[in-house]
A and B are shown apart, each in its own frame.
Chain A
Amino acid sequence: MAATHAEYVKQLIVLLEDFTQDWDHEFEGKMTPDTRLLGDLGFESIDIIQLVVAIEEDISKKKVPFDKLLMKDGRYVDDLSIGTIADFLVGFV
Chain B
Amino acid sequence: MTTKTLFIGMDGCTFTVLNEMTRDLPGEGVTMPFLAGLMAKGSRANLRSTPNPLTPPAWASIMTGVGPGQHGVFDFIRAEDKGGEVYWTLYDSRDVDSEMIWSIASRQGKSVAALNFPLTAPPPKHVNGSIVPGFIPAKHLRRNSTPGLFERLKEAIPGFDAKELAWDFDNEKQALEVLNDNDMEQWVRYHLPREEQWFNIAEYILANDKPDLMAVMFDGTDKIQHQAWQFVDPNLVPAEKTDFYNRMRAVCREYFANVDRYIEKLVTLAGPECQVFFASDHGFTATVETLRINAFLEELGYLKWAANDGSEQAIRREASDFANLDWANTTAYCRTPSSNGIHIRVSTKPGEPGIEPDDYVPFRDKLIEDLKTLRNEDGEPVIVDVLKREEWFPGQHMERACDLTLVLRDNGFVSIRNLKPVVIKRPSPAGTHHPDGIFMAYGKGIAANGQVDRLDIRDVCPTLLYSLGLPTPSDFEGKAAEPFFTENWLAEHPVKVGKATVGGGEKAKAEDMDEEEKRQIIEQLQMLGYME
Contact = CB atoms under 8 A, between A and B. Distances in A.
Contacts of B522: 45, 48-49, 52, 66-67, 70, 76
B524 A46 contact: yes
A61 B512 contact: yes
A26 interface: no
Contacts of A22: 138-139, 142, 162
Contact of B510 (A45, A63, A66, A70): A63
Contact of B313 (A18, A52, A75): A75
A69 B113 CA distance: 37
A18 B517 CA distance: 26
B122 interface: yes
A54 B139 CA distance: 13
Interface residues of A, number: 30
Interface string A49-93: 110111011000111111110110011100000000000000010
B514 A19 contact: no
Contacts of B429: none
B85 A66 contact: no
A47 B140 CA distance: 8
Given A75-B313, A92-B516, A18 B511 contact: no
Nearest to A56: B510
B522 to A, nearest CB: 5
By size class, the interface of chain B is 20 to 34
Contacts of A28: none
A62 B85 CA distance: 24
A44 B512 contact: no
B89 interface: yes
B143 A54 contact: yes
Contact of A67 (B84, B121, B142, B521): B521
Contacts of B512: 61-63
Contacts of A45: 522-526
B526 A46 contact: yes
A49 B516 contact: no
Contacts of B523: 45, 76
B511 A62 contact: yes
A74 B90 CA distance: 19
A46 B168 CA distance: 11
A49 B524 contact: yes
Interface in B505-532: 510-512, 514, 516-517, 519-526
A47 B139 CA distance: 8
A18 B143 contact: yes
A44 B90 CA distance: 14
A57 B122 contact: yes
B169 interface: yes
23 contacts: A22-B142, A45-B522, A45-B523, A45-B526, A46-B137, A46-B140, A46-B526, A48-B522, A49-B89, A49-B522, A50-B144, A52-B522, A53-B94, A54-B143, A57-B122, A61-B512, A62-B514, A63-B514, A65-B516, A67-B87, A68-B519, A74-B84, A76-B523
Given A48-B522, A50-B143, A61-B512, 16 more contacts: A19-B143, A44-B526, A45-B522, A47-B140, A50-B144, A52-B521, A53-B94, A53-B121, A54-B143, A57-B122, A62-B510, A62-B512, A63-B511, A67-B521, A70-B522, A76-B523
5 tightest A-B CB contacts, nearest first: A62-B512, A65-B519, A65-B516, A63-B517, A66-B521
